[in-house]
Amino acid sequence: MSIEFLITSLIVVASPGIGAVFTISTGLSYGPRKSLVAALGCTLGILPHLMAALTGLAAVLHSSAMIFNAVKYVGVVYLLYMAWNALRETGALSIQKQNKRSDLRMISDAVLANLLNPKLSIFFVAFLPQFISEGDEHPLVSMIEMSGVFMLLTFIVFALYGIFAALMRDYVVTRPKIMQWLRRSFSAAFTALAVKLAVSQR
């Protein structure tokens, strides 16, 4: 496994996206433990894209404009819903005294956030094969191994994002104006991601 793959993967993972925003908002709202659950959910959300790439479903997705656009616009609608929910005082960024949101619900929301991002499947179709040598006798095994490393990096980076946000939680709770600014900022971030996804091409 090349150092180029590790560096490139880290850059891709650390870049702000749906999963990062989701995990940070969870850390602010629910604290460190829930942020780790969210990071795990976002990591598990990579698996469907990996399986699609391994079975050739991703190739079908990106060769069919109708299917690609259908998945893309479902993702856009979901991101806009998350933007609206972030603005509400009782929404995704409400500060809870108790962790009322179950771990299963948190994981399912995180998986859905990544599942509805068709660009993630492009990563596994167009990116990973570049790091598999032509003489590799077991390219499928190599792809699975690299995908495992990518998922591990995803969990570590997202967990750090979430824990840092959770450490800022008490500071935010005592300052309503900061909380209002954060709600608007996260709503704007989700809206920007929705626009970016809406204009994306295969």
Tens of pLDDT, residue by residue over 70-93, are 767 776 787 787 778 767 655 555
DSSP 73-88: HHHHHHHHHHHHHHHS
Q: How far is CA 106 from CA 10, 98, 197, in A?
A: 24, 14, 23
The pLDDT mean for the chain works out to 77
pLDDT in tens, 124-143: 766 676 677 767 777 778 88
CA 107 from chain centre, in angstroms, equals 11
DSSP 120-144: HHHIIIIIGGGGS-TT-S-HHHHHH
Q: Which of 8-12, 26-30, 59-63, 172-176 has the least mean pLDDT?
A: 59-63
Q: Is residue 94 part of a domain?
A: yes
Q: Is residue 1 part of a domain?
A: no
Q: Is residue 7 part of a domain?
A: no
Mean pLDDT of 168-187: 75
Q: Hey, which of 2-6, 64-68, 102-106 has the most confident mean pLDDT?
A: 102-106
Q: Is residue 11 part of a domain?
A: no
Beta strands in 101-140 (DSSP E): none
Domain count within the chain: 1
* Owning domain of residue 193: 18-198
| First-last CA distance in the chain | 28
Q: Is residue 5 part of a domain?
A: no
Q: Hey, which of 70-79, 99-108, 136-145, 148-157 has the most confident mean pLDDT?
A: 148-157
Q: Is residue 124 part of a domain?
A: yes
20 vs 64, which has greater pLDDT?
20
Return d(Cα 165, Cα 181) in angstroms, integer: 15
pLDDT in tens, 24-55: 888 888 889 999 999 999 999 988 888 877 77
Is-above-0.85 flag for pTM? no
Q: Is residue 9 part of a domain?
A: no
- What's the pLDDT score for residue 135? 74
Q: Is residue 8 part of a domain?
A: no
Question: Which band of pLDDT confidence, cut at 50, 70 and 90, is reported for residue 64?
Answer: low
33 DSSP assignment: H
